[in-house]
Amino acid sequence: MTLSHTQLVELANRFGTPLYVYHAEKIKEQYETLQKAFENCNSRFFYACKALTNINILKYMEQLGANIDCVSIHEVNLALKAGFTPERILFTPNCVDFTEIEAGKDLGVNLNIDNISILEQFGNKYGGSYPICIRFNPHIMGGGNYKISTGHVDSKFGISIHQMRHIERIVKSTGLNVKGVHMHTGSDIKDINVFLQGLEIMFEIAEHFPDLAFVDLGSGFKVPYHEDDVSTDVAELGARVCDAFKKYEKETGRRFEVWFEPGKFLVSEAGYFIVKANVIKQTTATVFVGVNSGFNHLIRPMFYEAYHRIENISNPFGNPRIYTVVGHICETDTFAWDRKISEVREGDYLVFYNAGAYGFEMSSNFNSRLKPAEVLVKDGEALLIRKRDEFEDLLRNQIEVL
């Protein structure tokens, strides 16, 4: 389910560029794919909203029936504003002040604690009066690259599985009410055995907590970025995870919910980023396409060396040529090296695919450039969900004292 070149060109002409476009029906398709894959489990899905927090996307997720995963108290407040009730919100902060944890508690959301110090502070102050989840570091290297791997031995995330005795002492001395255990090894996980290996560890950890209600396996489901790319086989993963939970229940008599936190999986393929070719620049060895954007709008290629498929939607049937696509930022901001694209002319529109996750969300006003508009296409209608920045936005919150 994709938007056509013609539709994207029409949107670029109507709303201007650079432009982020999201396709609601693709988000729904992805959500229903997960539901079907895990239909034989007692499963819940929490949209990892750090991928894309536009309030309209959050409202749409809520309407689909998804829950929501938040990593800051401000994301929690956005989720509440979007209509999520506290029991549908999971709050998993990292390296925050204890007051932020308390703010989540006061709002009544599911708290996920990943630090021994915070765990001890919370237990000493609140005892077992408020249920919590504990995030563990399973020491599993998973993820597309080191920068997006969060479960390895040197990760800042989670409490090491080798610190179980320390955790048990805190739980025993403070009476902590542990209702869930959690792990998340990273993003772009191709091998489903990473999840199954982690699940075995979670089952071992569960033996230490008699009152558990759920086991959270995080996410990291991979989506394809180019034609020959692989993706996480969520159907097979769902079947094997459900079988593992059924086997565990039969052996132990304990039945848990299984939670997941998909972010990129739900919104990445639903997103398109449209830019305009400003200049074609020929050097001795390279033909550059300079576009009216940069890593201030889409940082993933520079930050993660991420691949985004790029097409010329103004001239899709032109003769293919080799281009290096760059931005207009006063830094190196290369989107793609030596990429085969239909002949690009100055003024053509290019589209970056898989731009729904961590695109606009990680954008900035670097070089005093304005942030782009966002559009949601739903039921065939294009809805403006964020206005393009204006010059005055650059001065907002600044105080002129000179």
- What residues form the annotated binding site for substrate? 300, 304, 331, 358
Question: With 0-12 CB in 10 A as exposed, 13-18 as middle and 19+ as buried, what is 202?
Answer: buried
Distances, alpha carbon 16 to alpha carbons 12, 19, 293, 341, in Å: 5, 7, 12, 22
Q: Is 133 annotated as catalytic?
A: no
Distance CA 36, CA 18 (A): 36
Which position among 95, 133, 242, 330 bears the catalytic label? 330
Where is the binding site, in residues? Answer: 220, 300, 304, 331, 358
Residues with Cβ within 8 Å of 28's Cβ and at least 6 positions away in sequence, in order, are 64
Distances, alpha carbon 308 to alpha carbons 72, 206, 221, 302, 304, in Å: 28, 40, 17, 11, 11
CA angle 329, 331, 337 (to 5 degrees): 90
Segments of 16-86 assigned E as strands: 19-23, 43-48, 67-70
Structure tokens at 251: 């052996």
Where is the binding site for pyridoxal 5'-phosphate, in residues? Answer: 220, 358
- The residue length of the chain stands at 402
Residues with Cβ within 8 Å of 353's Cβ and at least 6 positions away in sequence, in order, are 225, 269, 272, 308, 309, 310, 311
Residues marked active site are found at 330
